[in-house]
């Protein structure tokens, strides 16, 4: 029976932004139902000024060389202006629910995707609010009503900014996580050199976090390849101290539990002397100086040998 493919999680779900969080954040921003009703009443104002506001908004952005680079061609500019008109009108829908939140979160995620740091859209939002203040004071003759209308806009735009920044941070952390995972994979390159024989060349310092990654990578490949021997070459490890030796011993013990053997190669005279001075017992693993010797030993462990052709 075919298993159903789970639907992708929404940004709201990823950020655990539920009805409770919505109410909490609206309270913090003092965004009330009265504010939303007031904004809905300003819909004709929004429709009347939409094009001018958007053009003024992008006039600032496109005049700044660093901000301009996010919009490489005319087609992109036309597209973002259409999206900005939609965004502007949504401010005056009189709705602030979870669907609205999801839409605003996508704005922040999109900014992270194109590399637009928060400083740019925080500056853009400031300009946005300045434009709205000019328009509302010109359109609404009653100063008290104009001020109340602007305060409602300010609360909703501030609410939107918080969502965009939350989404940007979450997307950025996700990107960093994926990059770190790729780096971890590159730092523990377990290579198949023959049937049932693996090789792990280690380069650089080994701390506790990397040691755990090494053990996990080794065990997964040993089990997956049904390996009987894995060669760990430490020629590129600058320092072998008690901590590094302990990590290697733990990895050896774990490999033995799944039916494999560890061969340690790349042991220099200095490393050998250090291990002896530290009193570290590495008798549970095979040790040889050169990688070539380790490969020959591993082949012997699986019943193979290197032979030269007859001359």
- Pick from 269, 277, 216, 212: which is nearest to 241 by CA? 277
pLDDT in tens, 233-274: 988 888 888 888 888 888 899 999 999 999 999 888 888 888
Other CB atoms within 10 Å distance of the CB of residue 63: 9
Q: Determine the Cα–Cα distance for residues 116 and 107; give it in Å rounded to an integer.
A: 11
For the chain, strand residue ranges (E) read 191-194, 197-203, 229-236, 261-265, 286-287
pLDDT digits (tens, 9 = 90+) for 221-239: 999 999 999 999 988 888 8
Per-residue confidence at 84, pLDDT binned at 50, 70, 90? confident
Is the pLDDT at 198 greater than 90? The verdict is: yes
How far, in Å, CA of 244 to CA of 107, rounded? 46
Span of 45-54, 110-119, 132-141, 163-172 with lowest mean pLDDT? 110-119
Can you list the domains of the chain with their CATH numbers?
A: 11-184 (1.10.490.10), 191-301 (3.30.750.24)
Q: What pLDDT is attached to residue 204?
A: 82
Cα–Cα distance measured from residue 150 to residue 145, given in angstroms and rounded to the nearest whole number: 9
CA distance 58 to 76: 12
pLDDT at 186 over 60: no
């Amino acid at each position: 029976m075919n298993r159903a493919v789970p639907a992708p999680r929404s940004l709201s779900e990823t950020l655990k932004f539920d009805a409770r969080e919505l109410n909490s954040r609206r309270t913090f921003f003092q965004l009330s139902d009265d504010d939303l009703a007031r904004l809905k009443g300003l819909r004709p104002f929004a429709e009347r000024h939409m094009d001018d506001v958007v053009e003024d908004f992008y006039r600032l952005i496109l005049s700044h060389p660093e901000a301009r680079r996010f919009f490489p061609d005319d087609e992109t500019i036309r597209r973002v202006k259409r999206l900005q008109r939609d965004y502007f009108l949504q401010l005056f829908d009189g709705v602030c629910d979870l669907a609205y939140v999801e839409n605003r979160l996508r704005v922040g995620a999109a900014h992270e995707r194109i590399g637009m740091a928060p400083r740019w859209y925080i500056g853009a939002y400031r300009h946005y609010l300045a434009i709205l203040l000019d328009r509302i004071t010109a359109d609404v003759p009653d100063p008290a009503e104009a001020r109340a209308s602007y305060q409602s806009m300010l609360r909703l735009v501030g609410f939107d900014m918080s969502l965009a920044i939350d989404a940007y941070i979450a997307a950025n952390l996700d990107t960093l996580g994926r990059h770190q995972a790729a780096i971890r994979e590159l730092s523990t390159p377990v290579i198949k050199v023959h049937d049932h024989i693996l090789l792990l060349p280690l380069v650089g310092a080994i701390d506790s976090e990397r040691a755990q990654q090494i053990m996990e990578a080794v065990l997964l490949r040993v089990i997956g390849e049904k390996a009987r021997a894995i060669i760990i070459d430490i020629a590129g490890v600058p320092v072998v101290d008690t901590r590094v030796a302990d990590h290697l011993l733990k990895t050896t013990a774990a490999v033995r539990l799944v039916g494999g053997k560890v061969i340690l190669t790349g042991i220099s005279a200095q490393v050998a002397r250090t291990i002896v001075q530290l009193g570290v017992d590495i008798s549970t693993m095979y040790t040889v100086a050169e990688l070539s010797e380790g490969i020959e030993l591993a082949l012997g462990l699986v019943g193979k040998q290197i032979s030269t052709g007859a001359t």
